[in-house]
Amino acid sequence: MIKHSLTVILVGLLCGLAIISLTGRNPLPIMGIWLSAGFSCSGAGFRCAPITAAQYATPLIFSGLSAMIAFRAGLISIGQFGQMIVGAGVTAGLVIALAETLSPLSALILALAAGSLAGGIWGAIPGALKAYLNINEVIVTLIMNSLAPAAVGALSWQRIPEAVRLIPLVPSTKVTGALFIALITTVIVFVYLWWHQGGLELRMSGQAANFARYAGMRPRRTVVWAMLLSGIMAGLGGGLEVVGVHYRFVTNFSTIDMFDGIVVSLLGQLHPLGIVFSAFLLGGLRLGALNGLQLMTNTPREIGDAVIAVMMILITLPHIRRETGDQRPEKGDVY
């Protein structure tokens, strides 16, 4: 599986070379500038690309963890973007209100917790519809992405006070403690899914629902729980973005697109540690496309998006084949 991810990355970069060559320019120097702008370090602060890539990677980690939890439960959720917006809206509105009465740290913690829970509830809704009414979660989460801004947009559009903002760890950057929160959350998710009984039930319900039912597990409850956890991850990521990067409620995160969670989770082979790697890779590619392709070589940064799209297609092919191909039970499956 790791070999497959590396192959996808290589093929994606080769496609990037091919696309650049269509412009009539030598693709190798341009590709070198692109990768250098995304992954090299020539100085402190903004001159060190991996530091800024870490800022880009932080919301990608949360979005990837969100998608991965749903996948592990046998679900396909594309609602990470909407759940991030809900988490961002609730966090922004609450942190502004609480900053007047509580200490900055208390206001920040409570607002982030509320934003995470709001994202979780937003994710649990399609989970409940799937579990009890068998309504397709892909359609519902896609629709709820569009509804999210309207649901929380009235909470607050004010600037977040400086006292309750996350402080940059490196001057002239917006890399904050959110990065460490993302890494700690990754470890917690890993421990839960692979070492805790609840995580075992979640993964078992996704891999063999009939076996889980015969073992006394409750797949329906697990579906709702998985989507709740998935939404909590995305909601926390959205909340951290508004208090650490934008300092106000936004409905369009500049460093993440709607389907990035799917890309990061699949490229990371549905494993928390792999998600961290793929998030940094995607963050670096996106940073390099902006600073390297567009600013330094006058090449459209959409080429970077095209490479990411190719990676997404290639990484999802095995999963599509598994869903639409031969469905005969293998040895050991319970039907």
Kindly write down the DSSP assignment for every residue of 17-34, as one continuous string.
HHHHHTTTS-HHHHHHHH
Q: What is the pLDDT of residue 214?
A: 62
CB atoms within 10 A of CB 177: 15
Q: Output the pLDDT for position 300.
A: 80
CA angle 236, 238, 240 (to 5 degrees): 70
Distance of CA 112 to the CA centre of its chain: 17
Task: Tell me how crowded residue 182 is: count the other CB atoms within 10 A of its CB.
Answer: 25
pTM given for the model:
0.89
Amino acid identity of residue 328, one-letter, is: R
pLDDT of residue 328: 42
In terms of C-beta density within 10 A (0-12 exposed, 13-18 middle, 19 or more buried), how is residue 309 classed?
Answer: middle
Instruction: Report the pLDDT value the prediction gives residue 181, as an integer from 0 to 100.
Output: 97
Where is 62: in which H helix or E strand? helix 49-72
Dihedral sign (CA 61, 144, 235, 222):
negative
pLDDT tens, residue order, the chain (335 aa): 667 677 888 888 888 888 888 878 888 888 888 888 888 887 555 568 888 889 999 999 999 999 999 999 989 999 999 999 999 999 999 999 999 899 999 999 999 999 999 999 999 999 999 999 999 999 999 999 999 999 998 887 889 999 999 999 888 888 999 999 999 999 999 999 999 888 888 887 766 666 566 656 677 888 999 999 999 999 999 999 999 999 999 888 767 777 889 989 988 889 999 999 999 999 988 888 888 887 888 888 778 778 878 877 887 776 655 554 444 444 444 32
CB atoms within 10 A of CB 65: 32
pLDDT of residue 160: 94
What string of DSSP letters covers 310-334? HHHHHHHHHHHHHHHS--PPPTT--
CA 258 to chain centre: 9
CATH topology of domain 49-319: ABC transporter involved in vitamin B12 uptake, BtuC (1.10.3470)
> Of 91, 85, 72, nearest to 231 (Cα)?
85
| Beta strand residue intervals within the chain, DSSP E | none
Measure the CA angle with vertex 299, ends 54 and 284; round to 5°.
10
Among 157, 162, 164, residue whose Cα is nearest residue 248 = 157
DSSP assignments along 262-297, one per residue: HHHHHHTTT-HHHHHHHHHHHHHHHHHIIIIIIHHS
Contact (Cβ atoms closer than 8 angstroms) between residue 219 and residue 205: yes
Q: How far apart are CA 122 and CA 144, in angstroms?
A: 8
Nearest-angstrom CA–CA distance, 201 and 209: 10
